[in-house]
A and B are shown apart, each in its own frame.
Chain A
Amino acid sequence: MAGPTNACSADRAPGAAGRDFDRERRRLELDPSHPATHGSLKFTLELTGETIADLDVRIGYLHRGFEKECESRGWAQAIPYTDRLDYHSAILANLGFCLAVEKLMGLETSPRSRWLRVLGCEISRVGDHLLRCGSACHELGALPESLAAIEARERVADLQEALCGARVTANYVRIGGVRRDLPADFRAAGEVLLPKIRALLGDMDAAVHRNPVLLARLRDTGVLSRQDCLRYAVTGPILRAAGEPLDLRKQQPYLTYDEIDFDVPVGSVGDNYDRYLVCVAEARESLGIVEQCLARLERLGPQPIAGAVFDDPVRGPTVAAGEAYTAIESANGELGFYLVSDGSERPVKVRCRPPAFLHLAALPEMLREAKLADLVPTFELLNAVGGECDR
């Protein structure tokens, strides 16, 4: 029985109006005003039907002249700017910069301040991974999963607030130490918050694995092989999801990571699902590291943590002429700082090697012949934070 004629389906029939929508080439622009681009970038797509034939990623909308700003001020004045690189995990960027300055200065830090730094870094990492997984779920319409992640992320912010007083821009690490010691009530806060975060992470993961649509959208999408990761200098969870167990906390240990017991989770396929699994497993490992830090800090007892005192407490030290590169394992991967000093109170060069920038550069490779619908979740799981990409 013939139903009412549907104008759309009549249009879609090949030849009906001389158009074949599944083969037609068209151009699509996802501007910074599109909610999925978070205001920080623009995708220009060439589509054949729903298949991506070509993708150009335009960034820079959040460029604030990070390097120029750092090069016009004292060494210590750059630390708050590093908060605003990957602003989901400020302490990691604080640390990367301070370690590089300390390398140039040959500055030693006390064991207690090193453990405090690890504590701060791992809290940052948990929050970053939760946000990455939560936003990917959100973009795929998986609301309960994303709400669990966001709730957990709030508890992580509570924990960071208990540590340093700030929920986002931590400004916690100092050249030679950290800004303040563990507050007296931190242990009590940790005893309440850590089990909560663990439980919410479990809730999110359980909900993800009860959602066959979500799983189907994550599996076999956005694949980047180990070999291509290396070509594009892709590091962190994305490289590990492709099966390469590179984690600078293990490979080139800094702070106290060589004394800490933790695993490096790896995937095998290098698709979005593996990235999700690696991030969840890493967040769990990081919570374990936080607990180890608390135990060690209790055993260590009081030690100086505030770091070096400089003649100019605002601008910070004068640094001997030279150059140094330091890399840490941030939530996104290798976060490097290459510093050049001419021996004065201001840096000649402050280069931030932003992992997210390089990962975003590989996005077209991940989406070769992919469907348009896979663009947004793949992008979310890259955690290409505008602050870090654009600096």
Chain B
Amino acid sequence: MDDYGSVALARLLADCTDAVRATHAQYGDATAQVAPARIGELLRFLRDDAECAFEMLTDLTVVDRGDVAAPEARFEVVYHLYSVSKNHRVRLKVGVAADAPAVASAVGLYASANWMEREAFDLYGIRFDGHPDLRRILLADGFEGHPLRKDFPKTKRVPLDGPER
């Protein structure tokens, strides 16, 4: 299995031990479950640390764990980072509560977070504190609900009579 991320995990565990809750490298994907309150600080560390050098926030998405997870960690916000110069990747995950889910925005660190956080807000209803322009992106402004949540039925219809797009 390709291994493109063990350095990053080692650096995280060495320098930010108290913020890392669990790690794994299943299928070669270096992954760290981290404390939600520390996400901004960790992203900054991973971007600026010379050995990590994650210049790119490649992907940001959310997993709805539904009933399986405890309510305080129903949602998982998942960050995929890639370093062009070091050619390695790492995945960070933070648990977010079922009611009023929110996490700090990464827009100040990575411009790519802007649209991806808007999508996560649109489809999962996660608030990104500090986002400069947090509005829906794929769905119409008048849409009610967040359709990628597991409790949003696939067949549900939302009439589009909201404000004009």
Contacts and interface: CB of A to CB of B under 8 A. Distances in A.
Nearest to A58: B165
Interface of A: 42, 58-60, 63, 65, 67-69, 72, 103-104, 106, 228, 230-233, 244, 246, 251-252, 322-325, 327, 334, 336, 338, 340, 342, 348-349, 351, 353, 357-358, 360-362, 365, 390-391
Given A338-B61, A353-B80, A323 B31 contact: yes
27 contacts: A58-B165, A67-B123, A68-B147, A68-B148, A103-B27, A106-B27, A231-B111, A233-B59, A233-B82, A246-B84, A252-B4, A323-B26, A323-B29, A324-B26, A325-B89, A327-B58, A334-B82, A338-B59, A338-B61, A338-B78, A340-B63, A349-B63, A351-B78, A353-B58, A353-B80, A365-B111, A391-B138
A67 B141 CA distance: 20
A357 B154 contact: no
A336 B2 CA distance: 16
A201 B96 CA distance: 51
A67 B58 contact: no
B2 A60 contact: no
Taking each of B84, B123, B154, which has the highest tally of chain A beta carbons within 10 Å of its own beta carbon? B84
Nearest to A32: B165
Closest A-B pairs by Cβ, 10 of them: A233-B112, A60-B138, A361-B115, A230-B55, A231-B111, A353-B59, A351-B61, A63-B138, A324-B27, A349-B63
B139 A60 contact: yes
B52 to A, nearest CB: 14
B110 interface: yes
B156 to A, nearest CB: 10
Interface residues of B, number: 40
Interface string B122-150: 01000000000000111110000001100
B27 A233 contact: no
Contacts of B91: 325
A308 B4 CA distance: 28
B6 interface: no
B63 A72 contact: no
A244 B114 contact: no
A358 B31 contact: no
B97 interface: no
Contact of B112 (A58, A65, A322, A358): A358
B141 to A, nearest CB: 10
Nearest to A324: B27
B17 interface: no
Contacts of B154: 65, 68-69, 72
A59 B59 contact: no
Contacts of B57: 233
Interface string B52-85: 0001111101011100100000000010101010
A252 B4 CA distance: 9
Contacts of A42: 165
A357 B61 CA distance: 13
Contacts of A334: 58, 82
B59 A348 contact: no
| Residue with the greatest number of chain A CB neighbours at <10 A, chosen from B56, B57, B64, B78 | B56
